[in-house]
Amino acid sequence: MRKSMLFGFLLVFLGLALPGTQGKILPRCDLVKILRQHGFEGFVGKTVADWICLVQHESSYNTKAFHDNGPSRDYGIFQINSKYWCDDGKTRGSKNACHISCSKFQDDNIEDDIKCAKKIAQEAKGLGPWYGWKNHCKGKNLSSYVKGC
């Protein structure tokens, strides 16, 4: 009885703790649906397939993705950079143009990530700021990225 209760508490604790600590891998078609709902098709002249390809190569759909580039860092599924777009408290001269803490881009709520990614694309008039897109997606046939969704 005691042991099973302890086990129960442990399960509850893990259940509460894990979503926050591990992040989640967004299923590809779930992200396709979310991006379509948020008007990404045709936005800055690009397709949802462009964005899926971008996310695949920037973060592998991991909401918790993080890369340290030395002077700055990239956060979340869109790998948003601390030099220009968000504040991580340790990037010299950060512009924080999206007026947000970078850690917000690593939680499971991607609404703020989407808002900032759109701002980045709008200011750049395209997806040029993302090397994952430039190096792996630009000018390619991307139909496979939205296939079956």
- Residues making contact with ligand NAG (CB under 6 A): 141, 143
Residues 6+ apart with CB under 8 A from 93: 83
Q: Please state the three-class secondary structure of 102-125 as a single string.
A: HHHHHCCCCHHHHHHHHHHHHHHC
Residue 143 sits at φ, ψ, to 5 deg, of -60, -30
In the complex, least distance from residue 143 CB atom to ligand NAG, rounded to whole angstroms: 4
Q: Considering 30, 50, 68, 74, which one is annotated as catalytic?
A: 74
Is position 74 annotated as part of the catalytic site?
yes
Tell me whether residue 135 or residue 143 sits nearer to ligand NAG (CB atom).
143
Q: Considering 50, 58, 88, 113, which one is annotated as catalytic?
A: 58
In the complex, least distance from residue 145 CB atom to ligand NAG, rounded to whole angstroms: 11
Is position 41 annotated as part of the catalytic site?
no
Residue keyed to tokens 């259940």? 15
In the complex, least distance from residue 41 CB atom to ligand NAG, rounded to whole angstroms: 16
Tell me whether residue 93 or residue 139 sits nearer to ligand NAG (CB atom).
139
Q: How far apart are CA 1 and CA 126, in angstroms?
A: 60
Distance of CA 68 to the CA centre of its chain: 15
**Which residue has the closest beta carbon to ligand NAG?**
141
Rounded to the nearest 10 degrees, how much is the dihedral formed by the CA atoms of 85, 88, 93, 97? 20
Kindly list the strands in the beta sheet with 80-81, ordered across the sheet, starting from the edge strand earlier in the chain. 66-68, 73-75, 80-81
In the complex, least distance from residue 141 CB atom to ligand NAG, rounded to whole angstroms: 4
Catalytic residue numbers read 58, 74
